Amino acid sequence: GENVEQHPSTLSVQEGDSAVIKCTYSDSASNYFPWYKQELGKGPQLIIDIRSNVGEKKDQRIAVTLNKTAKHFSLHITETQPEDSAVYFCAATVSGSARQLTFGSGTQLTVLP
């Protein structure tokens, strides 16, 4: 089955700096890669996703890049703000097959004021 590894487990950045979280996956058939943000005391929420037919996707201050050859994908947050502090999860699956999502282990991002 799919295995998703996520690094780092914790990340602290100064407000205004950029943050990068990286994930690798094992199943070359995986073609859908979502990112979830979990704020304290809440359930995870989808913030951005990317499909294997594109290499990069942006939404305001967040972007995701995908390298299918190397089987890794990354979340980039620019101009970080205190409200970006949360746990971030990457995930992977084969879309269109009713396969379940496989999540990474999570990254605790802390944005220091």
Partner 1 sequence: EAQVTQNPRYLITVTGKKLTVTCSQNMNHEYMSWYRQDPGLGLRQIYYSMNVEVTDKGDVPEGYKVSRKEKRNFPLILESPSPNQTSLYFCASSPRTGTGDINYGYTFGSGTRLTVV
| Nearest approach, Cβ of residue 9 and partner 1 (Å) | 7
DSSP 93: B
CA distance 94 to 98: 8
Residues near 12 by beta carbon (within 8 Å), at least 6 away in sequence: 109, 110, 111, 112
CB of 24 to partner 1, least distance (A): 14
Q: Which is nearer to partner 1, 77 or 90 (CB)?
A: 90
Contact flags string 27-46 toward partner 1, x per CB under 8 A? -----x-x------xxxxxx
Angle at CA of residue 63, ends 60 and 112, nearest 5°: 80
User: By CB under 8 A, is residue 49 in contact with partner 1?
Assistant: yes
Of these, 24, 30, 74, 89, which contacts partner 1 (CB under 8 A)? 89
